[in-house]
Amino acid sequence: MDTEKVQTQALELKSKYEGLVIKDDASFKAMKAFEDNGRENIKIIKDFIKPQKEEANRRHKKLTQLEKTLTAPFEEVMKGAKQKRIAYSQEQQRIQQEARRKAQEALDRVAEEERLQLAKTLEESGNKEQAEAILETPVIAPQAPVVEAPKVAGSRKVYSAKIVDIKALFKGYVDGSTAIPELSEDDLKKLSSILKLNSLAKALKSSLDIPGVEVKVKVV
């Protein structure tokens, strides 16, 4: 099928149809002919495209199945790895909670022993009322610190930058090989502090002469 020819015929037919107005039996029949023509051409086009659509659907199903077959082992690995990481994290959390529980029990026990010893000492020294008051007071032991679970190194890479040659850095800014970032007013103040420009200004006063640096005077 010549698709360009079909499109041209369709546009010509559409143009003729739009110019037709039913005003008698003849024009009524002509309009019916346009309808029949459209129906016939639509059938021809669909019959032509149908096997291609069916073949495309078959190919789509085959490719979908192939995709599923190829990715299945990787999906299994991803799922299993995630489950194992979750299980490990949960176990570490359980270990952390158990360690904290035992530490808290030890602190509580020590606090109780100290209270009993203090009450005994007071009673033996004749301070019976104070001893009884201590025994009636609830024990408030210090809270056990949170035990951090060991962290497992992940696979996500985190990048950062460190200046190792300040002269080379500024040389790049000067010769244009390194783009100068946009800096806010706060950034410039911080940079001035880092470069000790304020100290230089205090020492050299108005004689400070550094390209790009302006000496400001504030009367206080």
User: What pLDDT does 121 receive?
Assistant: 85
pLDDT at res. 114: 81
Does pTM top 0.95 for this prediction? no
1: its two tokens: 């099928």
Low-confidence ranges of the chain (pLDDT < 50): none
Assigned token pair, 157: 């890479």
Contacting residues for 197 by C-beta, under 8 A, at least 6 apart: 210, 213
Q: Of 170, 159, 218, which Cα lies nearest the Cα of 194? A: 170
Question: What's the rounded Cα separation, in Å, for the pair 89 and 96?
Answer: 10
Cα dist from 76 to 60, 63, 105, 154, whole Å: 24, 20, 43, 19
In the chain, how long is the greatest CA-to-CA distance? 130
- Rounded to whole angstroms, the Cα distance separating 191 from 95 reads 47
Q: Using CA atoms, how far apart are residues 82 and 110, in angstroms rounded to an integer?
A: 42
Phi first, then psi: what are they for 93, rounded to 5°? -65, -40
pLDDT in tens, 90-133: 999 999 989 888 888 888 888 888 878 888 888 888 888 877 87
| Model pLDDT, residue 128 | 80
